[in-house]
């Protein structure tokens, strides 16, 4: 009888918790125990004391005024002492941008209906015309191999970029720019990057974190009217100088400094700033005509007020300004985009060169963090996808054209496994790019999600290229105009390093900022503690406790059932993925909440743990984007393989992260308890099945137009004098002769061509009437094209010594 009562009480408690009523669940569970105990033979005295006990607990936890006095005031003091110290620059970085779908993941129950209604718009007619016209033309004009050998884009390409306003895509039309959406900006960078990395970087930088972006949001009227039209027309080329020898990822530690003072400018005595700086790794610096500069500003003479340390400030400085040394170049991995150092010694500038004028003094760090929150959503994710789509198209063709042992190499399962990963990751990367850009177009500045997009799309690009390089083998490592991958491969570390190194972004920023901004209660708790507001803290803290208990119940039940009873809408395939993502959301949030509660301020230092939580959060977002893309594109049966493969891969990463956390948890028994609660049956996500991978590999090689589907946004040369055009022609010719190959292969198996050497098969087949003379000619032409397409470049000794890049 006792065990029945206890089980009934637990069932009541879990049921209330599952639907979000922790307090009522506790009350009714205790009532069940009391009533059950009474009918089970407990004494009247025991029952009476139990009733009194539950009444007291209900009063303490249910009556807010009593709870605040008895419990909350002491808890607030403890929490205040345990919070990590956060500097002003750290707080600014944490507060930057907006919270969007990351808050839904932290809720434990994402609102799928809300996501379904969110519009991921395509391009306008004007944007599509630009993509089909000027972008295609600039790709045609650019020879990536010649760019590498000449160490620069051609003068004609530079001129065309200015003429067609590639540097003014994000500048509104009222200032003479193109006024493109983030989706269009992304599509342009994607296509350019598939043609030439230096080309894409040159276009990307002025449209990302730089003077135009900062001026649009923070510039004075005069600054906007002067600079934005000139930037839009390419009359000015901008760069932004932030990184320096002692301030890389820790950009807030910049040593560049300025002092407010009076000085002579154009013959007049004006209030200004005396600057000294030393910057490096500045893209476009060697060719820039105007430099955006970040520096720490001081006012020892109190010319602007009574504060000496005014904080990080940003200013615009023309190239010809006296005292600035600019023009030298770095050589990043041999990739020839302009990049170099900038130094300034005793440079005097007027105060009105500060972005935003005097009102912008000390606001530089906020400007940079807010702009970066949007900028990282577009540029590098788009570049990464362009490279991935290029790898998909090239590798799919090469695996079809290249033969070993009489078969296309893509037919071997070892190669097929890599082809599948190339195609699957490319599909998911595209989904994440589109969703994140759509958020920016909707007015969001998604700081956490932009960090995810930048870090994980560049990392996935690295995986895709490693697989592609392995498949192409010698054709990928021998440099020359016929090599379609090596120059993009050289640039991978660059994309991973800039705009926030991925190691730092993963281990410190994504989860750290996400938990403080996206959690349903943590932001309110921190704000209440900061304001010493007991009432607000009481509401937030006990709301957090109830949330954690309810989410723990949901995570446990969903773990046992695999989330199959979670109510969501959609087609059967999409609905199942939403159930699983909801189940992983509650599991992730439970681990995050327990970690924040038990580890407190020390969690900030536990970067391995924070990095694994970032993995779980990030792969959840990437899989969510894939589901959104699948539904937006009509939930087509033909697309299920892409969605299923990518989500299976993502679930494997999520489970790997969470289970590894529990095995390495600082509090061992808690780690074990979490693992049993969330993964009672053990791991359920083992990645894509072999059957799925083999099917996806065939898609990458062209089955059901999969190769075109996965690489539809890149620049594809049809010029057979170029490597891409030659490979494309060979690929389609080889596909056309596939039936003839199959006929010959069948004849060899059945005996008609038994014993014939592989090289002689076509001729003997024609002699025996298995194929016609016309078909023999078709076979020979296709194979000749294939032989040419897989050839690599060679050089004389003298020519070899002259190779660059």
Q: DSSP per residue over 34-65, as a string?
A: HHHHHHTT--HHHHHHHHHHHHHHHHHHHSHH
Residues 6+ apart with CB under 8 A from 477: 469, 483, 486
Final residue before a domain boundary, out of 622, 651, 683: 683
Residues 255 and 321 in one domain: yes
Is residue 506 predicted with pLDDT exceeding 70?
A: yes
Do residues 560 and 639 both lie within one domain? Answer: yes
Cβ atoms of 649 and 685 within 8 Å: the answer is no
Residue 2 pLDDT? 46
Nearest Cα to 411, choosing from 734, 25, 33, 44?
734
d(CA 465, CA 395): 10
pLDDT at 29: 52
Unique residue bearing structure tokens 């009227």: 221
Angle formed at CA 600 by CA 594 and CA 604, multiple of 5 degrees: 105
Radius of gyration of the chain (CA): 31
- Whether residue 539 is found in the same domain as residue 675: yes
* Same domain (yes/no): 648, 550: yes
Residues 545 and 621 in one domain: yes
The pLDDT score that the predictor gives to residue 267 is 86
- Contacts of residue 308, defined as CB under 8 A and 6 or more positions apart, other chains included, come to 298, 299, 300, 302
Tokens of 463: 């995986």
Burial class of residue 531 (count of CB atoms within 10 Å of its CB; 0-12, 13-18, 19+):
exposed
The pLDDT tens digits for 408-435 are 999 999 999 999 999 999 999 999 999 9
Residue 171 has pLDDT above 80, yes or no: yes
Does residue 333 contact residue 490 with C-beta atoms inside 8 Å?
yes
- pLDDT tens sequence across 181-215: 999 999 999 999 999 999 999 999 999 877 898 99
User: Which residues contact residue 558 at a Cβ distance below 8 angstroms, ignoring those fewer than 6 apart?
Assistant: 566, 582, 583, 586, 587
Residues 6 or more apart from 591 whose CB is under 8 A from it?
Answer: 613, 616, 658, 661, 662, 674, 678
Is 609 a domain residue?
yes
Sign of CA dihedral 514, 516, 519, 520: negative
Q: Which among 25, 34, 47 has a CA at the least distance from the CA of 6?
A: 34
Q: List the structure tokens of 222.
A: 């005069």
622 and 650 Cβ atoms separated by less than 8 Å? yes
Confidence of residue 5 (pLDDT cuts 50, 70, 90): very low
In the chain, how many domains are there? 4
Asked whether residue 657 falls in the same domain as residue 800, the answer is: no
Q: Which residues carry out catalysis? A: 499
Helix (H) or strand (E) holding 258: strand 257-265
Residue at 611 is within a domain: yes
Pairwise CA distance, residues 588 & 107, whole Å: 10
pLDDT in tens, 638-661: 999 999 999 999 999 999 999 999
Which of 340, 372, 404 is a domain's end point?
Answer: 372
Half-sphere exposure of 549 (CA within 13 A, CB side): 18
Q: How far apart are CA 44 and CA 50, in angstroms?
A: 10
pLDDT of residue 49: 47
Tell me, yes or no, whether 404 lies in a domain.
Answer: no
Say yes or no: 543 and 653 in one domain: yes
The single residue listed with the structure tokens 């990030």 is: 618
Helix, strand, coil percent values for the chain (each to nearest 5):
65, 10, 25
Q: What is the mean pLDDT of the chain?
A: 89
* Residue of 463, 448, 466, 461 whose CA lies nearest to 506: 448
- What is the C-alpha separation between 717 and 725, in angstroms, rounded? 5
For 102-149, the pLDDT digits (tens) are 999 999 999 999 999 999 988 999 999 999 999 999 999 999 999 999
Over 70: is that where the pLDDT of 474 sits?
yes
Burial class (CB in 10 A: 0-12, 13-18, 19+), 329: middle
Q: Is residue 729 part of a domain?
A: yes
Instruction: Give the DSSP per-residue string, 142-209.
Output: --HHHHHHHTS--HHHHHHHHHTTGGGTTS-GGGTS----HHHHHHHHHHHHHH-HHHHHHHHGGGST
Q: Are residues 563 and 624 located together in one domain of the fold?
A: yes
User: Is 757 a domain residue?
Assistant: yes
The CATH number given to whatever domain includes residue 278 is 2.40.110.10
Are 668 and 732 members of one domain? no
Report residue 603's pLDDT band, with 50, 70 and 90 as the boundaries: confident
Q: In this structure, are 364 and 281 located in the same domain?
A: yes
In a domain, 90, yes or no: no
Please report whether residue 454 resides in a domain: no
How many angstroms separate the CA atoms of 721 and 441, rounded?
A: 40
pTM: 0.92
Tens digits of per-residue pLDDT, 507-537?
988 998 898 889 998 888 888 888 888 888 8
Last residue of a domain, one of 62, 87, 113: 62
Residue-range definition of the domain harbouring residue 614: 520-683
Residue 115 within a domain:
no
Give me 42's structure tokens. 């407990």
Residues 279 and 368 in one domain: yes
Do residues 190 and 382 lie in contact, with contact meaning Cβ atoms separated by under 8 Å? Answer: yes
751 and 675 assigned to the same domain: no
Residues 358 and 304: beta-carbon distance below 8 Å: yes
Residue 309 host element (H or E): strand 309-318
């Amino acid at each position: 009888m006792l065990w029945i009562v206890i089980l009934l009480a637990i069932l009541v408690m879990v049921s209330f918790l599952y639907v979000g009523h922790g307090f009522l669940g506790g009350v009714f569970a205790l009532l069940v125990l009391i009533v059950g105990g009474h009918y089970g033979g407990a004494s009247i005295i025991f029952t009476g004391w139990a009733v009194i006990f539950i009444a007291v607990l209900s009063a303490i936890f249910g009556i807010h005024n009593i709870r605040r006095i008895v419990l909350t005031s002491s808890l607030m003091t403890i929490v205040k002492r345990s919070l990590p110290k956060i500097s002003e620059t750290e707080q600014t970085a944490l507060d930057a941008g907006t919270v969007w779908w990351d808050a839904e993941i932290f809720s434990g129950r994402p609102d799928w209906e809300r996501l379904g209604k969110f519009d991921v718009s395509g391009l306008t007619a004007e944007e599509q015309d630009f993509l089909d016209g000027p972008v295609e033309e600039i790709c045609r004009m650019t020879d990536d191999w010649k760019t590498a050998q000449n160490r620069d884009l051609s003068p004609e390409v530079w001129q065309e970029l200015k003429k067609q306003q590639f540097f003014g895509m994000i500048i509104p039309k009222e200032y003479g720019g193109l006024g493109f959406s983030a989706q269009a900006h992304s599509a342009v960078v994607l296509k350019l990057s598939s043609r030439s990395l230096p080309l894409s970087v040159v276009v990307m930088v002025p449209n990302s974190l730089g003077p135009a972006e900062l001026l649009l949001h923070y510039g004075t009227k005069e600054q906007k009217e002067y600079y934005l039209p000139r930037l839009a027309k390419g009359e000015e080329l901008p760069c932004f100088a932030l990184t320096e020898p002692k301030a890389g990822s820790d950009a807030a530690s910049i040593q560049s400094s300025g002092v407010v003072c009076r000085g002579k400018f154009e013959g007049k005595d004006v209030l200004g700033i005396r600057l000294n700086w030393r910057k490096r790794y500045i893209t476009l610096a060697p060719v820039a005509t105007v430099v955006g500069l970040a520096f720490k500003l001081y006012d020892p003479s109190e010319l602007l007020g009574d504060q000496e340390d005014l904080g990080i400030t940003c200013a615009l400085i023309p190239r010809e300004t006296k005292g600035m040394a600019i023009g030298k170049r770095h050589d990043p991995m041999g990739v020839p985009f302009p990049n170099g150092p900038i130094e300034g010694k005793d440079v005097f500038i007027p105060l009105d060169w500060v972005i935003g004028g005097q009102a912008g003094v000390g606001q530089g760090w906020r400007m940079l963090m807010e702009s970066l929150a949007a900028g990282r959503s577009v540029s590098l994710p788009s570049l990464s996808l362009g490279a991935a789509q290029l790898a998909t198209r090239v590798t799919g063709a090469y695996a079809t054209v290249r033969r070993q042992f009489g078969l296309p190499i893509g037919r071997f399962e070892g190669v097929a496994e890599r082809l599948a990963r190339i195609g699957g990751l490319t599909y998911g990367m595209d989904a994440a790019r589109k969703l994140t850009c759509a958020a920016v177009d909707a007015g969001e500045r998604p700081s956490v999600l932009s960090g995810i997009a930048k870090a994980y799309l560049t990392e996935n690009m690295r995986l895709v290229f490693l697989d592609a390089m392995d498949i192409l083998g010698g054709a990928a490592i021998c440099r020359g105009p016929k090599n379609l991958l090596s120059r993009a491969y050289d640039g991978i570390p660059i994309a991973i390093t800039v705009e926030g190194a991925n190691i730092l972004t993963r281990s410190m920023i994504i989860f750290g900022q996400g938990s403080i901004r996206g959690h349903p209660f943590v932001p309110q708790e921190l704000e209440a503690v900061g304001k010493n507001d007991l009432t607000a803290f009481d509401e937030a803290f006990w709301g957090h406790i109830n949330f954690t208990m309810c989410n723990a119940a949901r995570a446990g039940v969903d773990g046992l059932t695999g989330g199959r009873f979670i109510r969501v809408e959609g087609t059967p395939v999409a609905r199942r993925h939403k159930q699983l993502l909801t189940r992983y959301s509650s599991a992730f949030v439970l681990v995050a909440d327990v970690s924040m509660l038990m580890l407190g301020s020390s969690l900030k230092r536990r970067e391995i743990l924070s990095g694994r939580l970032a993995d779980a959060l990030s792969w959840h977002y990437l899989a969510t984007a894939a589901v959104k893309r699948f539904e937006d594109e009509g939930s087509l049966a033909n697309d299920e393989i892409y969605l299923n493969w990518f989500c299976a891969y993502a679930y494997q990463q999520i489970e790997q992260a969470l289970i590894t956390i529990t095995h390495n948890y600082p509090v061992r028994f808690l780690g074990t308890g979490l693992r049993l609660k969330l993964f009672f049956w053990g791991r359920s996500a083992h990645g894509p099945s072999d059957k799925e991978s083999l099917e996806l590999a065939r898609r990458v090689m062209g089955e059901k137009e999969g190769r075109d589907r996965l690489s539809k946004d890149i620049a594809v040369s049809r010029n057979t004098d170029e490597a891409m055009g030659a490979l494309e022609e060979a690929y389609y010719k080889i596909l056309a002769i596939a039936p003839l190959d199959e006929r010959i292969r069948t004849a060899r198996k059945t005996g008609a061509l038994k014993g014939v050497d592989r090289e002689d098969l076509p001729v003997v087949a024609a002699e025996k009437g298995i194929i016609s003379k016309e078909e023999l000619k078709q076979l020979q032409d296709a194979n000749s094209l294939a032989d040419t397409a897989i050839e690599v470049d060679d050089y004389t000794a003298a020519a070899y010594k002259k190779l660059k890049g």
